[in-house]
Amino acid sequence: MKWSLEGVSRAKGTYYRLNRGRRQGRIKLALAYVDVEAAKRALVRIQIEQDHGSIARVLELHQDRPSAALTFLMDDGGLELADVDPDYATWSLEAYVEQIYGPWRSNEAPRTWRSERGYWTRIVEQIGDVPVGKVSPFLVADLVDGLMVVRGPRKGESASGNYKRLVRAAIQACLMYAYRRQHIATKPDLGIFRIKGSTRGVKAKVPPLTLDELRGLLEVSDPMHRVMWAVGVGLGLRPAELVQVHWEDVDWDERLLDVRGTKTELSSETIPLTPIAHAHLRDRWEATGRPASGHVFRGRRGPYGPQGYRKALTRCVTAAGITRHVTPNLLRHSFATIAWSLGIKLDVARRVMRHASEAMLKKVYERPPPSHLVDHVKAFALV
């Protein structure tokens, strides 16, 4: 397949790019603002690489390091691809993580990378000088077996099995990325050795709040926390979303709320206000002088943080006579179960909670107690 050179005249000059294919399958490789001779050299060189079957390496290089790819394509001194496309398998693990994997991971999954970086500090200390292509299951098994606690009362003791598992998972993710990008030739499998103590125990799920328990919780709470619990359960908001509710997010006429969520693509959506959430929000709005903007939930020191109301929730739960452990997340979990008991369709609950599918609601949230199922099975009568 032939490549073509395209130039677009702009105020700054002529913007060049290389094109291959047509319509949806077209590949575009930007050269930016270069002189016409350099652009022509790039066209000749990329066609040579296409004919020699090495075009994939050029495109990969352009994705990872655009400036190096352009230097290679527009060079007129016989520069070889091997000179700018290094053998990543020979790079040290520390260099590879710092220059290749780390930047990609921080851009692809920034929240995950913030946690993962701590594990890489320990990993690099131990095997940072090992070439990426030489990282083996035996090497990683020895690494995790030797991990020790570095601070706290358990300093000097062996790290927990779950911590070791997470360290191994970080290395596995890095090597899988290297394999997918063809930086190493062998698909890694670091799970062939079992990590003692890493098996997760099965924890009993805490039953969500029932409608009667919610009523009791609201009755014993002060005005501000009463609104917080009503909105948390009434809309199924995540703790971080609940504390980010602003007055300007509420559309009183349409009874809608713009959720300031960041966890998933669907988190930041507009949802309908349920009657319980609307009524309590409206009372709070009236009582505070109908503010046009600002945080809805504020403590003495300012707006609440995601975990700032945990103590208040525990205090109110105890006052309401609820004996089991109730967390801020359980308020969200309770929404779907109460919605189920009220006959609200599962798809409606999913849209309010902003899940991509109903699977999460079925597995995690929709857990009515057996006593609530009695009326639903009365039709199963054979006598």
Task: Tell me what the pLDDT averaged over the chain comes to.
Answer: 86
Has residue 252 got a pLDDT over 80?
yes
| pLDDT bucket at 381, cuts 50 / 70 / 90 | low
Helix (H, G, I), strand (E, B) or coil at 365: helix
Lowest mean pLDDT among 42-46, 129-133, 251-255, 299-303: 299-303
Show the DSSP H helices in 208-298 as ranges.
211-220, 223-235, 239-242, 275-287
Has residue 211 got a pLDDT over 60?
yes
Question: What is the pairing mode between strands 302-303 and 298-299?
Answer: antiparallel
DSSP 375: G
d(CA 161, CA 197): 4
Highest mean pLDDT out of 112-116, 151-155, 156-160, 226-230? 226-230
Has residue 102 got a pLDDT over 70?
yes
Assign residue 109 a region: left if phi > 0, alpha if psi is -120 to 50, beta otherwise? beta
d(CA 19, CA 30): 9
**Which two structure tokens, joined as six digits, stand for 346?**
């599962």
Highest mean pLDDT out of 67-76, 279-288, 332-341? 279-288
Has residue 277 got a pLDDT over 90?
yes
Q: What is the pLDDT of residue 376?
A: 65
Q: Which of 88, 87, 269 is nearest to 178 (CA)?
A: 88
The whole-model pTM stands at 0.52
Q: What is the pLDDT of residue 172?
A: 94
Q: What is the pLDDT of residue 24?
A: 63
- In one letter, which amino acid is 198? S
List, as one string, the DSSP characters of 89-154: GGSBHHHHIIIIIHHHHHHH-HHHHHHHHHHHHHHHHHHTTSBGGG--HHHHHHHHHT-B--SSTT
